[in-house]
Structure 1
Amino acid sequence: MKFDEYLSEKKIDSAKYKHAEPAQYEEFLKIFDQMHPESFTQQKLFLINKIRRAYLLEENVDTKKVVAPKAMRPKIKPLKPKTS
């Protein structure tokens, strides 16, 4: 996984972040290349949340999940006992 993919997964706009804070971006890139993404997340969790709030990735309408409306359940009527 590349750092830009990781940032988009965390809903961070990598282009805006790289342009606004190039020194921190390069530092995080070097650290990210040396460890597993989950370890990076655990180590930089509070900073990632702060960065996400500052450089939130705008989602396209096409990429949002479409949720189907809930289907109506059929009503089941109990059987009447046969009387002979």
Structure 2
Amino acid sequence: MTFKEYLTSKKIDAKGFALGEQERFMELKNIFDQVHPDSFTAQKIFLINGIRRKYPIVETAEEAKKEVPKAKMMRPKLSITPKNKE
């Protein structure tokens, strides 16, 4: 996983972040390249949250509409018992 893929998974605009704060981007990229992504997240969670607020990924209207449809609920079948004839 590359640093840009990681930022995308965290809903951060990698291009905007790289252009806006190049020094911080390179610093975090160097650390990311040395550690596991989970370890990086644990170490830098507070920085990541601030960066996510500052450089969010902008969803297009088509992406926002692509919601997973809910599964149809199945009704239980009613068992029909024959009436006793006397």
Shorter chain as denominator, the TM-score bin is: 0.7 to 0.9
Letter in 2 for 1:13: D
TM-score calculated relative to the size of structure 1: 0.82
Report the alpha carbon displacement of residue 82 of structure 1 after superposing the two structures with TM. Answer: 3.6
Q: For 1:1-84, what aligned pairs fall within 5 Å after superposition?
A: 1-60=1-60, 61-62=62-63, 65-74=66-75, 76-84=77-85
Percent identical across equivalent pairs? 44
Q: CA RMSD in A?
A: 2.1
Letter of the structure 2 residue corresponding to residue 67 of structure 1: V
Q: Structure 2 unaligned runs (5+)? A: none
**Distance (Å, rounded) in 2 between the aligned partners of 1:19 and 1:75:** 57
Q: How many residues align?
A: 84
Give unpaired runs (5+ residues) of structure 1.
none
Compute the TM-score of the two structures, normalised by the length of structure 2: 0.81
Q: What do residues 45-74 of structure 1 show as CA deviations (whole Å, max 9, x unaligned)?
A: 011000000000112324764322442533
Given the superposition, is the C-alpha separation of residues 18 and 57 from structure 1 closer, same or farther in structure 2, using an over 3 Å criterion? same
